[in-house]
Amino acid sequence: MTNLTRRGLMAASAAASAVAATPAAALGWPGRKTAAAAAPAPWTPDATTVAAMIRSKEISPLEAVEAAIRRSEALQPTLNFMVNSDYDRAIDAAKKGGQTGPFAGVPFLIKDLNDYAGMPTRNGSAGSLAAPPATANDPWVDAALKAGFIVIGKSASPEFGYLPTTEPLAYGPTRNPWNTGRSTGGSSGGAAAATAAGVVTMAHASDGGGSIRIPAACCGLFGFKPSRGRLAGNTDMRVIALSVNHVDSRSVRDSAAMFAATERTDADAPYRPIGFIEKASRKKLRIGVLSASGNGREPDAEVRAGLDDAVKLLQAMGHKVSEAAWPIDSARFGQDFLTLWSAGAAMDIAAMSKALGRAPDTKMAEPFSLGMAELIAKAPEGAVDAAIGRLAQDSAAYDGWFSKFDVIVSPVLTKPPVPLGFVSGDVPFAELSARLTDYVGYTPLHNIAGAPAMSVPLHWTADGLPVGVHFAAKAGNDAILFQLAYALEQAQPWAGRKPGVSA
C-alpha cells in the first residue's frame, strides 16, 4: 500500500499555510497583529487538501484509501476506534473510480448508529451483534457518498449513543489519542479518535445532546452541530427531534464544505441555504459568556482557564463581551431532558426485547440503558408529554436569548477528558446519573432548541489534554458561527498540534 507522496505532503502544507495566512483585516480586527502568519504547518493534510491532491492527480483515490487502511490497521489495536472495517469494498470503489463531489476519493468513516448499505448497524450494543447488513443508506449517508467519500468502515459509538464517552461494553473502550487512559467523549468518539490520530481526515458524527461537540472537545477537533432541518435527511422539526448529522474535522473549511455539500435545498427546507462559508466576517458580535453549567457547577480550573483565554481573544478581536445567564430553569430542564432521553431508551429496549423474544439482561444491554428504560416504566402517566411541553417552552426561551446576544460562549464540559470508566455504562445508575449531571450541562439545550453550536479547540491543559470552547447561536444562524470559527482558527491555530498516538 502507498502512502501520500512527499511532493504531495509539501503541497498540502503549502495549501493549508496559504489559508492560515489570511490578512488580519479579513478577520474583523485590523489593528491586531495576528499569529496566523507564523502558524505551524498542519502535521497532516485536511480533507480539502487531500481532495485537491486527488483532483490534480498528485495521488490517486486508491493511494489515498490504501494509506488510510494502513493507518487504520496500525492504530486500531491501540485506539479501538472502529467496530467494523469495509476495506475490500473501499479498495474496489477506489479502483473503479468515478467519485464526484468536493471530496471525491477521500477515505471516510460512518458512525455505527447510522445505516450504510452492506454493513450491519450495531448501535454499540451486544444486543445487535447479530444484526444483518443494512439494505439501504440513511439519507445523510447518501449525501456523504454523493460528496465523493469512500467509506472504509464503521466508527465506534456508546450503546445507542446515550453516553458522553465511547466505552461500549460490547466492543471495549475507544481510547483518546492524546492520552490513551482518557475518554474520547461520545457518542461520536470513534470518529473523533480516528480523525484526531490522522487515520482519516474527517469522519461522520451525529449529535443528540452534544455528541459532535463533546468528542471534538476531548480530541482537539473542530465539531460543528448544525441547526435542526439544515442538512440532508433532517426533516422533523419537532422539539423531540434531537439528533443531527455532520462531521468532526481538523479544519473549519472541511466542516463548512461538508455542510454545503449536504445542505438541504428542497422547497420544504426550513432555512434558506447558506452554501459554502469560506471566510471570517468583519462584523463585531455581541457575545454572552456563561461559566456555570446548567446545574450551577463551575468548571474545573483548566476548563475555566480555556474559557477565560477565549474571552480575552474575543475582546482583542473587537467583539462586545458581557456576562450571560441561562434563560431557563436549568435544574428542571436537566430532569426533563433525562425523561425525554430515557423515553428513547425505553423504545430501544422494547425493540431489543421484541427481536430477542425476551427482556434483555445486562449481557445484551448495558445497565445504564436498562436503568433509563426502568425510569420510564416507573414514571407517572403523562410524565413524558409534560416534559416535552416544558422543553418546548425552553426552546422558545432560548430563541429569546438572542435579542441580547449574537453568540453565547461557554465550556463544552466541566472537566477535561475524564479517565476511562468515569462515565461508562456499567457505573451504578444513580451514581452515573449524578456524574453526568455534574459533567455534561452545557450542550443539550441546543438540541432542544434546534440551534447551531460548535466546539473549537482553543485550549490544552498543562499535561497536554485538549479542552474545547463552546459557541452557540440562534436556530438557523449557522453562518455566523462558521465565520467566527474561521477567525478563531486564524488567530489561535491548532493545526500543528499532534497527539501522542498518531499516524
First to last CA, the chain: 15
Give the pLDDT band of residue 295 (cuts 50, 70, 90): confident
Please give the average per-residue pLDDT across 112-140, as a whole number: 97
Strand order across the 82-85 sheet: 82-85, 150-155, 107-111
Question: What separation in angstroms does the CA of 216 have from each of 7, 34, 77, 451?
Answer: 30, 25, 21, 18
List, for residues 208-251, the tens digit of each pLDDT value.
Answer: 999 999 999 999 999 999 999 999 999 999 999 999 999 999 99
Distance between CA atoms of residues 76 and 109, nearest Å: 13
Strand partners, 222: 249
Looking at residue 25, its pLDDT comes to: 27
Distance CA 107, CA 66 (A): 9
Q: Would you state the pLDDT for residue 10? A: 34
pTM of the model: 0.93
In this predicted structure, what is the pLDDT of residue 2?
35
Predicted pLDDT at 41: 85
Architecture of domain 6-330+389-491: Alpha-Beta Complex (3.90)
Which residues, 6 or more positions from 326, have their beta carbon under 8 angstroms from its beta carbon? 290, 294
Chain segment 65-76, per-residue pLDDT in tens: 999 999 999 999
Q: What tens digit of pLDDT does each residue of 194-220 get?
A: 999 999 999 999 999 999 999 999 999
Supply the Cα-derived Rg of the chain in whole angstroms.
Answer: 21
Other beta carbons within 10 Å of 455: 34
Q: What pLDDT shows up at residue 39?
A: 52
- Residue 499 pLDDT greater than 80, yes or no: yes
Helices (H), 273-366: 301-316, 330-356
* Active-site residue list: 111, 187, 211
Are 459 and 485 spatial neighbours (Cβ–Cβ below 8 Å)?
no
